[in-house]
Amino acid sequence: MSKLRIGIIGTGFIATWQANGFRAQPDAVIAGFAGEKSRASALAAEHGGRAYDSIERMLDDPAVDAVVVGSINPLHHAHVVAAVERHKPCLAEKPVAVDPAQLADIAARVRKHGTLVFPGHNFLYRPAVVAAKRLIDAGALGTRVHASFVSTHTISQAHAAGWRGRLAESGGGALMDSGHHQVYQALHLWGRPVAVQAFTARRVLTGMEGEDLAQVALQYADGSTATIVQSWATGHGGRIDGISMLGTEGDVVIADKLYVRDQAQEGSTGYDASFAGQARAFIDAVCGRSSPAMGLDGAADTLALIRTAYQSAREGKVLPFPARALAAAGA
């Protein structure tokens, strides 16, 4: 079987993680990089392929079978649309779009052209999360009670002072950016909530327009609850970071390892493993062997939950979680 030739759009730090994930797959090869010229050349020298002088040249190259959109958030919509219109299967880094109308537009174009858009929800492809999902779906927790999804880390001053710090480009602060991972994992593992209450603050990165700390409380139709915490204000959350899901029959915890009823299980939680797993799943989806763990409807739910959380924090209210966002938009 010939190898799937992957082009990577964007030359920031995420490009290296994506390239390493695909290079770990025996049936994929890096075709090249498009973005900042000197950085694209350096990445091509390290990982293989060529440095394209424009994104359009990469997308129009018949030697590129599929692409990763790893550009900055405000460019995702344009780059994903360009890939879809050229019938290039596309792995779109999170968030696929920061505007619901843009996401609905992508979904409409996917329906029209039949081109795969695979949301870049890499944490869903960590072996520990895959195993945890199976356990929960099999009823290992008994009656569900509570879940928590917590991530605390810092970001560089350069990141805080760049586009991430400007709401017009980022669409939000810590919750929209790194918190995306916690939100889509909560939706994947614990389901869609019925009510949302949130609090946000700027504790340390006061030069940003968005928050560096967010806490979201969720309630579900079955009466269970969950919390999501995303912080850029401290890197000292090691003992509380991770996912904990509790029920009447025990717990499932994803921290340094996967734990079931306090017993360590097989299943990596590493960042590198998440990109390798995602690359494998994307290749299988392109080849028609499987579907994404979470499709565009899940990406829309993720964006809707974050935006509902922001509204709750502004208004100081508990808000209902809306019906499926893409369905409501007619997508």
Last residue of a domain, one of 120, 148, 177: 120
pLDDT at 266: 87
Query: How many domains is the chain partitioned into structurally?
Result: 2
Contacts of 139 (CB under 8 A, 6+ apart): none
Residues 6+ positions from 122 with CB-CB distance below 8 Å: 181, 274, 275, 277, 278
Q: Decide if 32 is inside a domain.
A: yes
Amino acid 325: pLDDT:
64
Same domain, 89 and 152: no
Contact 160, 208 (CB under 8 A): yes
Does 280 fall in a domain?
no
Looking at the domain assignment, is residue 209 inside a domain?
A: yes
For residue 288, being part of any structural domain is answered with no
Closest by Cα among 164, 146, 144 to 154: 164
Give residue 131's pLDDT: 97
The pTM assigned to this predicted structure is 0.96
Residue 264 falls inside a structural domain: yes
The residue from 90, 120, 150 where one domain ends is 120
Residue 328 has pLDDT above 50, yes or no: no
Same domain, 264 and 137: yes
Does 277 fall in a domain?
Answer: no
The two structure tokens encoding residue 34: 């498009």
pLDDT greater than 50 at residue 179: yes
Per-residue buried b or exposed e for 136-146, using 16+ beta carbons within 10 Å of the residue's own CB: beeebbeebee
Q: Are residues 43 and 152 in the same domain?
A: no
- What CATH code is carried by the domain that includes residue 62? 3.40.50.720
Q: Give residue 323's pLDDT.
A: 82
Residue found by looking up tokens 């504790």 in the block: 203
User: Distance between CA 196 and CA 316 in Å, rounded?
Assistant: 11
Same domain, 314 and 166: yes
62 and 111 together in one domain: yes
Domain span at residue 33 reads 4-120
CA–CA separation, 38 and 44 (whole Å):
10
Q: Residue 219 forms beta bridges with which residues?
A: 195, 225
Query: Which whole number is the average pLDDT over 226-235?
Result: 97
Same domain flag for 102 and 26: yes
The answer on 44 and 16 residing in a single domain is: yes
pLDDT over threshold 90, residue 327:
no
pLDDT surpassing 80 at residue 13: yes
Please give, one letter per residue, the 3-state secondary structure of the chain. CCCEEEEEECCCHHHHHHHHHHHCCCCEEEEEEECCHHHHHHHHHHHCCEEECCHHHHHHCCCCCEEEECCCHHHHHHHHHHHHHCCCCEEEECCCCCCHHHHHHHHHHHHHHCCCEEEECHHHHCHHHHHHHHHHHCCCCCCEEEEEEEEECCCCHHHHHCHHHCHHHHCCCCCCCCHHHHHHHHHHHHCCCCEEEEEEECCCCCCCCCCCEEEEEEECCCCCEEEEEEECCCCCCCCCCEEEEEECCEEEEECCCEEECCEEECCCCCHHHHHHHHHHHHHHHHCCCCCCCCCHHHHHHHHHHHHHHHHHHHHCCCEECCCCHHHHCCC
Summarize pLDDT for 36-64 with one digit per residue, the tens: 999 999 999 999 999 999 999 999 999 99
Residue range 147-173: mean pLDDT, rounded = 96
The residue from 62, 95, 120 where one domain ends is 120
- Domain shared by 13 and 56, yes or no: yes
Are 106 and 130 found together in one domain? no
Answer yes or no: is 283 within a domain.
Answer: no
Name the one residue in this structure whose structure tokens are 């003992």.
Answer: 239
Q: Decide if 293 is inside a domain.
A: no
Give yes or no: residues 311 and 193 share one domain. yes
Q: Percentages helix, strand, coil for the chain, rounded to the nearest 5?
A: 40, 25, 35
pLDDT at 329: 42
DSSP string, 252-275: EEESSSEEETTEEES----HHHHH
